[in-house]
Amino acid sequence: MLKVLVTGGGGQLAQCIKSVAGLYPKLKFTYKTSSELDITNKDEVESTFNFQAFDYCINCAAYTNVDKAESEKELAYKINVLGPKYLAETCSKHQVTLIHVSTDFVFDGNASKPYKETDSTNPIGVYGKTKLEGEQQIINTIKNHFIIRTSWLYSEFGNNFLKTMLRLADQRDELGVVGDQIGSPTYAIDLAVVIVELIESKNNAYGVYHYSNKGVISWYDFAKEIFRLNQSNIQLNKIGTKDYPTPAKRPKYSVLDTSKISQILDKKTLNWKDSLVVAISKL
């Protein structure tokens, strides 16, 4: 039986892994919340691995508040750079394969076709910069790693765009949503399944991968479909990024090319619309 440590155990993605774990009886999962394992504390990381043997570590711990990162640079750096560094060092020492979740925010959003893993990175905010530095720490420290960049993550767990839209639909009659930022929503359950199947397959094609659901839309399109499926009577207005200023800049285009991970897992990527139906039915 393969033993898997999941950090950031209280977060959205870890909860999604927990919800599908029962489908994989050959894997034994141990979940550690940030209060049980602070990945920015090197001694805590080392004692966790000394106390219990693992084959894989999935790092779901991250600082993900894009806007707050602009004013909380040190905290974002600690969690997104030092945490992965300590995990990579300890995983390397204990011969544990590290699976780390990263983001489309490592790109600047100036592309016009889906980003491949080999494309140049150029983050435009603190969040993206720290996530990219975290990736580099892992690449420079441990050979047996998978870095999976994803985008626009949502699910029935945690705080995310889907749940925010449903809440606002109950509170308001009218809402403006940005229509000039383009990407691909990703159902976190689908990402969880991909990560777990990567482990179960014992694949050793280490490196950087992109994963999101199929389809290219704006946040406005995403909100429109959420309200349609939920039969919400709210007036939705398309606005521009300039009409909704935020402390952090967002990439205008962050579509990821997912063909590489589809090939190694021999698995078709699900369309965002199909996955959204599943997510809303669970809510």
Kindly state whether residue 221 falls inside one of the protein's structural domains: no
Q: Is residue 281 part of a domain?
A: no
Instruction: Give the model's pLDDT for residue 253.
Output: 98
175 domain-assigned: no
What is the structure's pLDDT at 38? Answer: 98
**Within-domain flag for 81:** yes
Q: How many helices and strands (H and E) does the chain possess?
A: 10, 12
- Alpha-carbon gap, residue 171 to 219, rounded angstroms: 19
Position of tokens 């898997």?
4
d(CA 27, CA 138): 24
The answer to whether residue 210 is domain-embedded is yes
Backbone angles phi, psi at 168, to 5 degrees: -65, -30
Query: In this predicted model, which residue has the larger pLDDT, 268 or 54?
Result: 54
Q: What is the pTM of this model?
A: 0.97
Q: What is the predicted pLDDT for the residue at 128? A: 98
Share of the chain above pLDDT 70, in %: 100
- pLDDT category at 33 given cuts 50, 70, 90 is very high
pLDDT the model gives residue 80? 98
Catalytic positions, written as ranges = 127
Q: How many domains does the chain have?
A: 1
DSSP-derived 3-state class of residue 239: strand
Average pLDDT score, the chain:
97
What are the residues whose beta carbons fall under 8 Å from the beta carbon of 155, sequence distance 6 or more? 12, 15, 16, 162, 187, 188, 189, 279
- At residue 7, the 3 state secondary structure works out as strand
Q: What is the pLDDT of residue 58?
A: 99
Distance (Å, whole) CA 124 – CA 69: 12
| Residue 30 belongs to some domain of the structure | yes
Collapsing DSSP to helix, strand or coil, 172 comes out as coil
Q: Whole domain around residue 64: which residue ranges?
A: 2-155+186-214+256-270
Neighbours of 243 (CB within 10 A): 12
Residue 195 · residue 267 · CB < 8 Å = no
Q: 179 in helix, strand or coil?
A: coil
In 10 A of CB 200, how many CB atoms?
14
d(CA 55, CA 40): 21
Report if residue 13 sits inside a domain. yes
What's the average model confidence in pLDDT over 109-135? 98
How do 217-218 and 182-183 pair as beta strands? antiparallel
Q: What is the CATH number of the domain that holds 89?
A: 3.40.50.720
pLDDT digits (tens, 9 = 90+) for 39-59: 999 999 999 999 999 999 999
CA pair distance 229, 274, nearest whole angstrom: 11
Q: Band the pLDDT of 282: cuts 50, 70, 90.
A: very high
187-212: average pLDDT: 97
The dihedrals phi and psi of 254, each to the nearest 5 degrees, come to -135, 45
Q: What is the DSSP letter of 214?
A: B
Is there a contact between 258 and 269 (Cβ–Cβ < 8 Å)? yes
In a domain, 166, yes or no: no
Q: Quote the Cα angle for 111-252-259, to 5°.
A: 50
Q: Please write the tens of the pLDDT for every residue from 214-248.
A: 999 999 999 999 999 999 999 999 999 999 999 99
